[in-house]
Amino acid sequence: MHNLESILTENRVFPPNPDFAAKARIGSRAAYDALVAEATSDYEGFWARQAREWLTWDQPFQTVLDESKAPHYRWFGDGKLNASVNCIDRHLPAKAKKTAIIAEADDGSVRTISYQQLHDQVAQMANGLKSLGITKGDRVIIYLPMIPEASVAMLACARIGAIHSVVFGGFSAEALRDRINDTGAKLVITADGGMRGGRAVPLKTAVDKAIEHGCPSVERVVMLERLGNDSATIVDGRDVLWSQLTADQPTTCEPVSVESEHPLFLLYTSGSTGKPKGVQHSTGGYLLNAILTNAWVFDLKDDDVYWCTADVGWITGHSYVTYGPLALGVTQVIFEGVPSYPDGGRFWRMVQDHKVSVFYTAPTAIRALMKLGDEVPKQYDLSSLRLLGTVGEPINPEAWMWYHRVIGGERCPIADTWWQTETGAHMIAPLPGAIPTKPGSCTLPLPGIMADIVDDDGAPIGPNQGGNLVIKRPWPSMIRTVWGDDARFQRSYFPETLKGYYLAGDSARRDDDGYFWIMGRIDDVLNVSGHRLGTMEIESALVAHPAVAEAAVVGRPHDIKGEAVVAFVVCKGERPQGADAEAMIKTLRDWVAEQIGPIAKPDEIRFGDNLPKTRSGKIMRRLLRGIAKGELPQGDVSTLENPAILEQLMGQ
């Protein structure tokens, strides 16, 4: 990874801010140690206590953890609850007038939604879904901009036991179609479009195209008029406007009480094959860790104004926008736009205007905003901030220090949170009132999370050596399976060699204080601006183009994005050169955007007569990674079938 050098020599330590610690939910190392000790001595008892304290159950559970079908673990299996009740109803009537959501649109206009209004909107939408024949267990695709209606749609599904699958609005029609078909969704909830950086992003046209290309399960499409500019086509008999669907619906809707293990949602993420995995999350266990981590790591309390900048299309938007903060009854900001529009002060102006106290974003945004200089944030009053969070990729110490100094005024603790789509919630992160932080380290596992670093046979590894990051015991918010593919679930996360440990797919090391330092992925997964992309996924997209014979994709360190996508392509026929190469590069970049989405566009494409392969035909990615960095391949190339290809690929 980039900056590995500085990470290896990083030795600054920032003890918890005493003012912060004095008021924190967990305000000392002793309090953290006590929780860890409780979880260690009575694992099930610890989680049962948390589940009773933090969740509102319709039917209390008797069984805590059922391991009989391991690794398909079941938590609180005989308990029943409803996620929307936990996020809304239980705050009423006490918080009826409290602002749940401050929604700032791309153009700067602001709407606020109280907990009562949120309740009413969710109930109306849930009734609307029922009127379309959606019932418990049905899958519903949500393809919306980053606006409060996205959370409303998710909670409306949860209210009736429908399983939502949010697809990020930046994914293309083709990517959307694949996800729709994998879930077998009956319904798609979308908008005519969204606004990002002053530009309209059409969504409904992508839905139409996806369905045109074959989504046999889809019966109906609900469309929110977000742009209201008649840009979208309405298909008679299939499409219904959100406004029409909900207008005459009652503002109450009896919640469907579901079993704790009932799937709350599916969320697709990239793995090491071409096909994204539908990560299946449960209701009770998922919600527990989502709530607990917002309380512990973000220390969220009643008077906080919380802002997580992630889109609901990602897991961060599920656990730290929709479910966690609402279940804790706090006020949060939801932002439709981008950090650079209308200018690079957007985030900081919003922090000032909405008096944000807890702010959570990604290293890629921090690095991009850092580049604009200290003068930009210094124009704004950031004194409302008390805690800063980061997620998605390793944060380099330089960016960490800037965040700490310029944004946090040296007073705000920084919570570097390590977790994954599959883990559902934070796994390794500092409890900011208890744990000293070190720039670039996500510090220590949360109480009840048995994280460790082991070798390929599952044996423990000593301090300061890289190894596989694993979680040794099941935890409530863990992935239950890959939707429709139990075998892939077992193969990917519980390989036989690892003694039943959950394999995260990251390499990491621990320092002498036991602090975790994430080093990067061990599989063919890239992390581009905090977005997870499979190299195989991009390769499959490239080879699907009629001009392409073969492709290999690797990552290259990038200052702002963390990693950039570099593709090595063999074309059918002659190798394109000069203007032909330029034209082909443009064609292929646009093609990948169409197949997956703009986030997957290769930053660089190089053409070869073939690719460096071993005699058995395996592409040597190690060499390609070197070439992508501009380094002439070092080390052993003796197994290479065609060494001359290296120079050709280097020469571009």
Element at 258 (helix H, strand E): strand 258-259
Here's the x/- map for ligand WT7, 363-402, by CB under 6 A: it reads as ----------------------------xxxx--------
Task: Check residue 309 for interaction with ligand WT7 (CB under 6 A).
Answer: no
Structure tokens at 409: 């005024």
Phi/psi of residue 650, nearest 5 degrees: -65, -35
- Enclosing H/E stretch for 83: helix 83-87
Distance from C-alpha of 375 to C-alpha of 132, rounded to nearest angstrom: 53
Annotated binding site for Mg(2+): 543, 545, 548
Which residues ranging from 411 to 430 are in contact with ligand WT7 (CB under 6 A)? 416-421
- From the annotation, which residues make up the binding site for CoA? 196-199, 316, 529
If you write DSSP's letter for every residue of 365-393 in order, what string do you get? HHHHHHTT-THHHHTS--TT--EEEEESS
Q: Which of 139, 349, 532, 545 binds ligand WT7 (CB under 6 A)?
A: 532
- Considering only residues 39 through 58, tell me which ones interact with ligand WT7, judged by CB under 6 A: none
Nearest to 403, CA basis, from 412, 394, 438: 412
User: Nearest-CA neighbor of 216 among 164, 180, 169, 241?
Assistant: 180
- Name the residue nearer to ligand WT7 (CB basis): 366 or 569: 366
CB of 307 to ligand WT7, least distance (A): 16
β-sheet with 331-335: strand ranges across? 110-114, 99-104, 331-335, 305-308, 358-361, 387-391, 414-417
Q: Are 327 and 87 within 8 A, CB to CB?
A: yes
Q: What share of the chain is helix, strand, coil (3-state, %, to 5)?
A: 35, 25, 45
432/388 Cα distance (integer angstroms) = 10
The residue among 89 and 393 lying less far from ligand WT7, judged by its C-beta, is 393
- Nearer Cβ to ligand WT7 (198/514): 514
For 542, the 3-state DSSP assignment is: helix
Among 505, 597, 626, 633, binds ligand WT7 (CB under 6 A): 505
Q: Which window, 54-62, 82-90, 312-320, 321-329, contacts ligand WT7 (CB under 6 A)?
A: 312-320
**Token output for 52:** 């009773």
Sole binder of ligand WT7 in the list 50, 99, 124, 316 (CB under 6 A): 316
- Residue 259 is a binding residue for ligand WT7 (CB under 6 A): no
Our CB check for ligand WT7 shows the closer of 17 and 316 to be 316
Q: Could you please report the per-residue DSSP string of 303-369?
A: T-EEEE---TTSHHHIIIIIIHHHHTT-EEEEE-S-TTSS-TTHHHHHHHHHT-SEEEE-HHHHHHH
Q: With beta carbons less than 8 A apart as the criterion, state whether 160 and 129 touch.
A: yes
Nearest approach in angstroms of CB 522 to ligand WT7 is 9
- Our finding on whether 315 is near ligand WT7 (CB under 6 A) is yes
Binding residues for ATP: 392-394, 416-421, 506, 521, 532
Give which of 436, 417, 438, 437 is closest to 428, Cα–Cα: 417
What's the closest the beta carbon of residue 114 comes to ligand WT7, in angstroms? 29
Q: Dig out the tokens for 118 from the structure.
A: 């949120």
Least distance in Å: CB of 431 to ligand WT7? 15
Least gap, CB of 598 to ligand WT7 (angstroms): 17
Our finding on whether 442 is near ligand WT7 (CB under 6 A) is yes
Binding site per annotation, positions: 196-199, 316, 392-394, 416-421, 506, 521, 529, 532, 543, 545, 548
Size, binding site for ligand WT7 by CB under 6 A:
22
| Site pattern 205..244 for ligand WT7 (x: CB under 6 A) | ----------------------------------------
Q: Minimum distance from CB of 506 to ligand WT7 (Å)? A: 5
Residues lying near ligand WT7 in the complex (CB under 6 A): 269, 314-316, 391-394, 416-421, 442, 504-506, 518, 521, 527, 532
